[in-house]
Amino acid sequence: MGKWMFFFDVDEFIYVPPKSTIKTVLDSLSEYNQFTIEQMPMSSKLCLSSDYGKTYRKWGFEKFVYKDVKKGIRRDRKYAVQPRSLYATGVHMSQNLEGKTTHKTEGKIKKFELKMIGDRLQKTRQ
């Protein structure tokens, strides 16, 4: 059994800042049995325009540009747990485990979520 188990969707990917690795992030969170991962939503309405007219050469999601438009304190989150301390899981967080949980992972690890995944010929909207 692995030391950490991650819960996220097929249209999401994990990001760690430059000069960090998943291992260094996990090592820095080793005192916890669960941590949540902040969501950074992406939009199919914000797209790279420098190659306009050549969209057939790229997958739609390769053209997405991230823009932080979320207002307020709360974002959707997913999580990772140390499975040996877990009794049951949930979709966005487990409340059935032994040990400590942290939500203070800003700047350490994020997840980006693509709101649409289409076929290769699908054009972005703008």
Q: How many domains does the chain have?
A: 1
Which of the two residues, 19 and 38, has the higher pLDDT score? 19
122 located within any domain: no
26 located within any domain: yes
Once rounded to an integer, what is the mean pLDDT over residues 24-29? 96
Report the C-alpha gap between 99 and 86 in whole angstroms. Answer: 9
- Asked whether residue 68 carries a pLDDT value surpassing 80, the answer given is no
121 located within any domain: no
Which of the two residues, 77 and 52, has the higher pLDDT score? 77
Overall residue count recorded for the chain in this entry: 126
Reduced to 3 states (helix: H, G, I; strand: E, B; else coil), residue 26 is helix
Q: Per-residue b/e over 91-102, b at no fewer than 16 CB within 10 Å? A: eebbeebeeeee
- Asked whether residue 53 carries a pLDDT value surpassing 50, the answer given is yes
Report the C-alpha gap between 115 and 43 in whole angstroms. Answer: 6
125 located within any domain: no
> Which residues constitute the domain of residue 59?
5-113
pTM summary value: 0.69
Report the C-alpha gap between 100 and 36 in whole angstroms. Answer: 12
